[in-house]
Amino acid sequence: MKIRKLLSAVLVAALLSGCSGKASPGQSQASSGISSSEAETVSSASTGATESETGTSTSADANASVSENPDTNAEESTETDLTGDVVPLKNLCTEYFSLGVGINGSTLENQTLNIPEYMDMCKEHFNSCTMTNLMKSGYILDQFGSQDNLKNGNEEPVLNFSSIDPTLNWCKENGMKMRGHTLVWHTQAPGWFFREGYTDDGEYVDKDTMLLRMESYIKQLVTHCQEEYPGVIYCWDVVNEAVEPSSYDPDSYFMCRTKCGEDPNPWYDTIGEDYVEMAFTYARKYVADDVKLFYNDYNTYQSPKTQGIYDLCSCLKEKGLIDGIGMQGYWSIDYPNDTTIKAAITKFAELGLEIQITELSIGVDEETDEQFEKQAQRYGDVFKLLMDMDTQSGGPANITCVTLFGLVDHYREGDTTNTRIFNKDYEPKPAYFAIKETMESR
């Protein structure tokens, strides 16, 4: 289909002397220790200091322009052309994948939903979004309500949806699709959820009790989203970051995480490695038929972590429990290299599952023009790599979404993240134009 459209475009271009059009939008880790998501909640992973929802990584491609002076022998410029038109990026990506953006914020007060300009630009440039923090269990579980349930003979936890309803409603009103992030994660899950009496200092509950709590949590959250905001959430990160080669159960076939730094993995401690499969089992039981289920992780390009994720997802696929793999993208200007990323994508593609880049964040060490040019080059290179790897280009991987984990740098006071493609004044950075030029060149 892509080849036919490209040929048609060439013929039209020839007839109209260079005029062309774009299709309408579709629907639908820096070093070895970078973990999950945004610039608000810092944690540590067993591979080293990590960012949990932090996104302070690095890099990208300043598309070179050819000099018009014939005496220069068409030498390439090292600077990105910032004079081009600003167009909706989602329109340029529609032949390949959806384009997603992070809805940042760690509280109802500081979330980017409260910034009209931010949300207007999200709607203009993206057709998918992810809540980077507020959909995690630590924001949704109600401790006192759960304790009251117990007093009344009800073992199930109580959920409060006030942290997610405003964004879900915005998506519903504006036709924006959402990646649900995330149902089960060892970080940002309150310790009392795993303990007797839903208390802070109780003993861990037994496996059967924890499975009951897990199922109830997943059922309540998924059902609320589907009934109140039908069609908004098109996929879920069911389990986040369960594979960890540096601290895992030696008897686990997929290197199931037992710790995060010095902290325990409470899902493993209460249920065992089965917690991953059971989370997918419950999610499959309650999600709508057209909602996809993903496993999401960081450092997916590192061996043997690539193999552990492959083994886990292969088992889940055999049982009909998974639809895709989410590869977080906390990468830097020069790490990991393209060969390493391609190898991981190729390996995962063997499973026939969808692949999504879920948290693309390429940062710089210093906010200088030179560094932002390198960041642009890296972003351009990454998008070229993903297009080349996609089945639409004849590649091996069914890449269905690429999510940039934020829109603008320094969106609020205290936000130090510089990984995004617009600056704090909502002006396009060189990275924006690198992505634009890369997509337009296809």
Residues with a known catalytic role: 241, 359
Task: Fill in the DSSP letter of residue 192.
Answer: G
Listed in sequence order, the residues at least 6 apart from 272 whose beta carbon sits closer than 8 Å to its beta carbon are 207, 249
| Coil, helix or strand at residue 256 | strand
The residues facing 76 across adjacent strands are 66
Three-state secondary structure call for residue 402: strand
Q: Which two tokens stand for residue 113?
A: 């939903």
What gap in Å lies between CA 112 and CA 91, rounded to an integer? 23
Residue 278: left if φ>0, alpha if ψ -120 to 50, beta else—which one? alpha
DSSP 117: H
Beta-carbon contacts of 209 under 8 Å, excluding residues fewer than 6 positions away, are 155
- Using alpha carbons only, give the angle 83, 84, 86 rounded to the nearest 5 degrees: 120
Please state whether beta strands 98-103 and 48-49 pair in parallel, antiparallel, or not at all (unpaired).
Answer: unpaired
What gap in Å lies between CA 11 and CA 15, rounded to an integer?
6
Decide if 279 contacts 214 (C-beta within 8 A).
yes
Strand 233-240 relative to strand 292-297: parallel, antiparallel, unpaired? parallel
Confirm if 277 and 311 have CB atoms less than 8 A apart: no
Closest CA to 230 of 157, 175, 159, 307: 175
Q: Which region holds residue 197: left if phi is over 0, alpha if psi is between -120 and 50, else beta?
A: left
Give CA–CA dist 99/89, Å, rounded.
8
| Token representation of residue 141 | 């579980």
